[in-house]
Amino acid sequence: MEIHRRSPAELWLSVLALLAGGIVPVFALLVAATIGLFAPPIGPEQMAMMPKDMPQMMLSRIMWPDQVAMAMAMPGNLMAMLGGMMAAQPAMAGYTTYVLLPALVILGVVYLYARANHPGLANCILAGLAAGAVASIGLDVVRLTGFSLRWMPANLPPMFGMLILGPMSSPVQAGIVGYLYHFLNGASFGLIYALAVGRGRLSWGIGWGIVIWLLMMVTPPVLMMGVGPFGINFGPGLVVTTLIAHIVYGAALGWLAERWVCVEGPLLADQTVGLRLSARAH
């Protein structure tokens, strides 16, 4: 087995791009949702201090009217969900301002430097981000279909927007910012894929989509919604919708990466492992 060697500078830039454009954006929601998951439910006193229509207003942005009515009829679940969202909101807003946005600036600097000095890395960054963002369109077609069938508990991108901007942000603002963050997540997973495997294959992209789905179904962003691991408290439609959506995402990502990424091998390959394997082969 032979691993193509990269220069030390290219490897370090690849790691920096991975952190700034891949890990940091994905961790934004994970950090905020972890805080929200362990937050206590809102008490009656806190509920009384809210504007009267605030809970219904927040839910109406992410749920169908019949889902809102069902949620309002279960005050215990409603208070737990609102408690989680209100606890997660400052963390998400602060992370976005002080960690995510600076990281994206760093990613831009890395890309511009790589474009002038390491064109293969620059191609992986741009192609990975673009392929991940475009693949997210396919994911959304399946996701929104499941949401229209009531197989999803909520339309999450507007909730992302409320977590970043605050619950009193306008529906248009929350929708725009939420979908920007949603597609940034898709682009980030595409960047991780491109840096980790290079051009890859269609089957590798599908496998990566399934890995993302498995992680999503057991981590705080989903658990904070109260549906339980793999949606055991909600219904099989959630599992079916999200699995198909991520298979579509992975297939589109793998297909696009085969055509857009010019680097065959991983930019994050361990040179020392490659040397040891080559030595053993001889």
pLDDT tens-digit map of 137-162: 999 999 999 999 999 888 989 989 99
Q: What is the pLDDT of residues 84-116, one digit of tens each?
A: 888 888 999 999 999 999 999 999 999 999 999
What average pLDDT does range 117-137 have in this prediction? Answer: 96
5, 271 in Cβ contact below 8 A?
A: yes
Q: Closest by alpha carbon to 104, among 16, 179, 31, 15?
A: 16
Asked whether the predicted pLDDT for residue 45 surpasses 70, the reply is: no
What average pLDDT does range 231-258 have in this prediction? Answer: 94
48 pLDDT tier (thresholds 50, 70, 90): low
d(C-alpha 135, C-alpha 252), whole Å: 5
276 pLDDT tier (thresholds 50, 70, 90): very low
| Cα dihedral sign, 170-84-31-147 | negative
Tell the burial category of 88 from Cβ atoms under 10 Å away from its Cβ (0-12, 13-18, 19+). Answer: buried
80, 224 in Cβ contact below 8 A?
A: no
d(C-alpha 220, C-alpha 199), whole Å: 31
pLDDT-wise least confident of 67-76, 156-165, 194-203: 67-76
Q: What is the pLDDT of residues 202-222, one digit of tens each?
A: 999 999 999 999 999 988 888
DSSP letters along 2-64, please? ------HHHHHHHHHHIIIIIIHHHHHHHHHHHHHHTSPPPPHHHHHHS-TTHHHHHHHTTS-
Asked whether the predicted pLDDT for residue 263 surpasses 60, the reply is: yes
Asked whether the predicted pLDDT for residue 16 surpasses 90, the reply is: yes
